[in-house]
């Protein structure tokens, strides 16, 4: 099994219940196929750098998973045919990552007022 980092951009018109169902379905697919989820982060609704399909915002999800190549290909197909997934990025990693991403660290830090 190999380690991967997956970033999903999900259509912003989804309600929170629909978004949770989409995320739950992908998590269940990974777990049911003997995959492991080492890190899961919901970055929330964020502004896009440029419009995609006439959209200006998207929900961002980050997952660090451990999967076989065969299951990863099935997951790519699911992303491709899912109308809710605007874009996805899958990176092959040499080892698992379980620490908080820099995106969440920036979100958690409070600005210091002088």
pLDDT digits (tens, 9 = 90+) for 85-105: 999 999 999 988 888 887 777
pLDDT at 109 over 90: no
pLDDT confidence tier of residue 112, bands split at 50, 70 and 90: low
84/2 Cα distance (integer angstroms): 26
Which single residue is written with the structure tokens 């890190």?
39
pLDDT at 64 over 70: yes
Element (H, E) at 88: strand 85-93
CATH number of 2-108: 3.30.70.60
């Amino acid at each position: 099994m190999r380690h991967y980092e997956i970033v999903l951009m999900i259509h912003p018109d989804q309600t929170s219940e629909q978004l949770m169902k989409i995320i739950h379905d992908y998590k269940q697919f990974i777990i049911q196929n003997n995959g492991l989820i080492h890190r899961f982060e919901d970055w929330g609704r964020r502004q896009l750098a440029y419009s995609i399909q006439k959209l200006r915002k998207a929900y961002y999800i980050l997952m660090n998973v451990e999967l076989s190549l065969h299951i990863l290909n099935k997951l790519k197909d699911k992303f491709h045919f899912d109308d809710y997934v605007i874009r996805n990025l899958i990176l092959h990693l040499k080892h698992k990552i379980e620490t908080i991403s820099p995106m969440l660290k920036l979100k958690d830090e409070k600005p210091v007022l002088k």
